Amino acid sequence: MMDSDIERVLISREAIARRVEEVARQITGDFNNHTSGQVSGAGAGGTCESPEITLVPILTGSIIFVADLIRRLPIRMQIRLVSVSSYRGAVTRAKQALIREELTMLPQSLTGEHVLVIDDILDSGQTLAMVQRLLRQKNPASLRTCVLLRKRRPEAMNFSVDYVCFDVPDEFVVGYGLDYNDYYRNLPDIVTLRPQVIHAHAPAGPEIQP
Ligand code: 5GP
Ligand code: MG
């Protein structure tokens, strides 16, 4: 049973829903101010289109957050998925982030597009930094970042990000899209796992974690 693996609930599904709604309103307000008077879109060949946004969710952890968030953004949008693997050492927490090209849907150019990158959790900042670097090369009109969670550790707190739903303790969390060895993403709340669960399934060596 998944429930018996939970140590404690950090953020309940109700609190998540309320906060997602708030952040969606903030994103919508900022977007409307930022783009008022502008036209954009791939087919802007003289036609007057409403401003639109290009969402770039980072797979896989952001899927549930993105599903909830986008239904609260009344903005014309396209979604372009990006997949990043963290090659995590067994002992150190040092990770190396790599783009997985085969699961990434970015166009050659993002010229004129207002881009919002979405990730589940800001930890070392490596993942977001790498995705930002990749997107900047594609020349977007603007580039913003949104994370569901930010860990209370210096690397994350000092990393510049536009929208944060919650700050969480520097502990390993799962649920609402976040996994442990690819499990627990379907838990509706954001929780910590009992240490026994983590120790029992700890990977023996370096592993790939999308
Ligand atoms: P960063 O590159 O900022 O160190 O890490 C971001 C990625 O690491 C996240 O997208 C997520 O996949 C993973 N990650 C970091 N901390 C946690 C955590 O506490 N729980 C889970 N499930 N994943 C985490
Ligand atoms: Mg992950």
pLDDT, tens digit (0-9, with 9 covering 90-100), for 20-31: 999 999 999 999
pLDDT, tens digit (0-9, with 9 covering 90-100), for 139-186: 999 999 999 999 999 999 999 999 999 999 999 999 999 999 999 999
- Whole-number Å distance between alpha carbons of 64 and 83: 15
Ligand 1 pocket residue status of 84, Cβ below 6 Å = no
Residue nearest atom 16 in ligand 1 by C-alpha distance: 123
- Check residue 46 and give its pLDDT: 46
Atom number of ligand 1 nearest to Cα 121: 9
Could you say which ligand is closest to the alpha carbon of residue 198? 1
Lowest mean pLDDT among 37-51, 92-106, 110-124: 37-51
Q: What is the mean pLDDT of residues 183-197?
A: 96
- Check residue 210 and give its pLDDT: 56
- Which of 198, 174, 192 has its CA nearest to residue 184? 174
Residues 89, 92, 96, 102, CA torsion sign: positive
pLDDT classification of 199: cutoffs 50, 70, 90: confident
- Check residue 85 and give its pLDDT: 85
- Whole-number Å distance between alpha carbons of 115 and 129: 15
Q: Which residues surround ligand 2, an ion (CB under 5 A)?
A: 61
pLDDT classification of 204: cutoffs 50, 70, 90: low
- Whole-number Å distance between alpha carbons of 20 and 69: 6
123 catalytically annotated? yes
- Which of 92, 89, 86, 91 has its CA nearest to residue 125? 86
pTM of the predicted model, to two decimals? 0.89
- Check residue 104 and give its pLDDT: 86
For residue 209, the CA-to-ligand 2 centroid distance in Å is 6
For residue 191, the CA-to-ligand 1 centroid distance in Å is 14
Is it true that the peptide bond before 192 is cis, omega within 30 degrees of 0?
no
pLDDT classification of 203: cutoffs 50, 70, 90: low
- Whole-number Å distance between alpha carbons of 147 and 172: 16
Ligand 1 pocket residue status of 35, Cβ below 6 Å = no
